[in-house]
A and B are shown apart, each in its own frame.
Chain A
């Protein structure tokens, strides 16, 4: 099957709008993706036809809403090849999914039966230098609460993990290894197999932030073999307000709760409470029902396109864009310079021009890119720069849009020299 980008574009109504009187060129999908009509329709349909709370109402609407919500869980489970549907937990976003794991681990300190998750002084939590803040701060906070030590794997000048550090930093003291599948700031795709194998060999839990890979690559949690995988709906062509944590069931079954509240309990007594089995143990309170249902529609949409086809389309885009951007005198790519183990997110600097000026001028010509540290400030610190300009592609991105970007950057450069 060939990938028909023009047909895909027609599914995204926002792509037809103009910005500053010119057609929108949206190159900020790593920040958030646009939504296809089917997701918008699903949200409207849910609220106009089926809206009710889930898992408690016995009436018809309640039953329909519950079926749709749990149906979305089935869709997501199939989309990522989860071992069983109960491994899929709906969260607010990736950040909450990662915090869920980090807080559940510290709750293990005093939770009966959760001894295997306890960590403390002498233990280590390892991340990488290319993490999004959402996969740094929760672990720093966990270390603060427990007395464990926070460590990280460094990156090299190409924005890839320093391979030799993997065996040095991940040791018998490592209890958790948390790392990003595809970097939002660099585009780097990390060697999951090697990292998970190393972590397993020392008995550490593995947590993979798949926020930037789930929308772009076939994601198979069984193949990744990590204990926990987090991603978010709004980058996956779904609504904001819904994310996913996929966890190994036998671990979820023993992991203490994160948030307490309605629907996460088995029975509540004033003298004590017992908890529901996963996934509901980790879904306290009324969940993001419509958003989860909308996410179900988004993964159906992606499955119909075929994630292999999506990956191939975006590989073509990055192969097209990298040499053209790099050829502009004064442009430095921040991240892997060759389209190998890298996604279609390209960060760069333009000599003598601040990224905020680049982004603002491109916006005046309808081109939306992001400028800043992309919530991965340590990456900028590593490269000794205050910020980068980042163009990130998606299923609806065309080579003509990349041409517009290249032309735009060249014109910005002319203005400033």
Chain B
């Protein structure tokens, strides 16, 4: 099946679905969260360890569900691991904005440099029912770093709903 040009599926998404990054739960961690997306029944359990200097030292996850949720979690893991927590949270904000754009985001080169593979999910923003799939792993990461003492726990919970 060739993908129509307007397809929300991209080769990058399918690649991450087939070969997910950072899959597996690290033994040493500061926080563990479990998030569920009732739309597709997607689930992700995510662990994070934050280094003393405030960077995300390790992040791993287990999950099951649709390709969008699993691939997006994989992309997110690769992007934020090794980054200072504030940078990771800023990236999460950018991705959230992209997902809420209803297919009308105008991506700049700077966005593409920063979001890397995550820009492949742009097409998902046209399908409100699937936006939560793409956000699942990102919201889990936000909750996890908050629980690790690196963000606002209440705010993280709020945006997960």
User: Does B52 interact with chain A (Cβ within 8 Å)?
Assistant: no
C-alpha spacing A251/B115, complex, angstroms: 66
Query: Known: A386-B41, A415-B14. Is A408-B1 also a contact (CB below 8 A)?
Result: yes
Name the distance in Å between A355's Cβ and chain B's nearest Cβ: 8
CB–CB B40/A354 < 8 A: yes
Q: Is the CB of B130 within 8 A of A356?
A: yes
CA distance A42 to B3 in the complex (A): 41
When each residue 1-40 of chain B gets 1 if its CB lies under 8 Å from chain A and 0 otherwise, what string results?
Answer: 1011011110000100110000000000000000000011
In the complex, the answer to whether B1 meets A357 with C-beta atoms within 8 Å is no
Q: Which residues of B contact A20 (CB under 8 A)?
A: 4, 6
B4 close to A354 (CB less than 8 A): no
Q: Is the CB of A365 within 8 A of B127?
A: no
Is the CB–CB distance between A364 and B4 below 8 Å?
yes
Cα distance A289–B25 in the bound complex, in angstroms: 60
Q: Which residues of A contact B17 (CB under 8 A)?
A: 416
Interface residues of A in 9-41 (CB under 8 A from B): 20-21
* B40 & A361 in contact (Cβ 8 Å cutoff): no
B interface size (C-beta, 8 A): 21
Question: Which single member of A387, A411, A414 contacts B41 (CB below 8 Å)?
Answer: A387
Binding stretch for chain A, among B62-70, B83-91, B94-102, B141-149: B62-70
Residue of B nearest to A415 (CB): B1
Q: Which residues of A contact B68 (CB under 8 A)?
A: 357
Do B6 and A360 touch across chains, with their CB atoms under 8 A apart? no
Q: Write out the residue numbers on chain A whose beta carbons fall within 8 Å of the beta carbon of B8.
A: 360, 364
Beta-carbon contact of A360 and B4 below 8 Å? no
**B65–A360 CB distance below 8 A:** no
Q: How big is the A interface, by class?
A: 10 to 19
Q: Return the contact of B14 from the options A360, A365, A411, A416 (Cβ within 8 A).
A: A416
Given A353-B67, A354-B66, A364-B7, the answer on whether A387 and B40 have CB atoms closer than 8 Å is yes
Within 8 Å by CB of B66, from A356, A412, A415, lies: A356
A412 to B3, CA, bound (A): 10
Known: A356-B40, A386-B40. A412 touches B67 (CB 8 A): no
Interface 0/1 of B35-52, CB less than 8 Å to A: 000011110000000000
In the assembled complex, the CB of B36 is this many whole angstroms from the nearest CB of chain A, namely 11
Contact for A365 among B1, B67, B133, CB less than 8 A: B1
Q: Which residues of B contact A411 (CB under 8 A)?
A: 1
Q: Which of A353, A354, A414 contacts B1 (CB 8 A)?
A: A414
Interface mask (A299-338 → B, CB under 8 Å = 1, otherwise 0): 0000000000000000000000000000000000000000
- CB contacts under 8 Å to A, within B98-151, are 127, 130, 133
Do A354 and B6 have beta carbons less than 8 Å apart?
no
- Which one of B6, B18, B40, B42 lies within 8 Å of A416 (CB-CB)? B18
Kindly state the separation between the CA atoms of A20 and B6 in the bound complex, as whole angstroms: 9
Chain B contacts for A360, CB-based, 8 A: 8-9, 127, 130
Q: Do A354 and B65 have beta carbons less than 8 Å apart?
A: yes
A23 to chain B, nearest CB (A): 14
Chain A 103-135, CB within 8 Å of chain B: the 1/0 string? 000000000000000000000000000000000
CB of B100 to closest CB in A, whole Å: 19
B4 near A357: Cβ-Cβ < 8 Å = no
Q: Which of B6, B9, B39, B65 contacts A361 (CB 8 A)?
A: B9
Docked CA distance A191–B68 (Å)? 41
Q: What's the Cα separation between A225 and B5 when bound, in Å?
A: 55
A-B contact pairs, 11 of them (CB 8 A): A20-B4, A20-B6, A354-B65, A354-B66, A356-B39, A361-B7, A364-B3, A364-B4, A414-B1, A415-B14, A416-B67
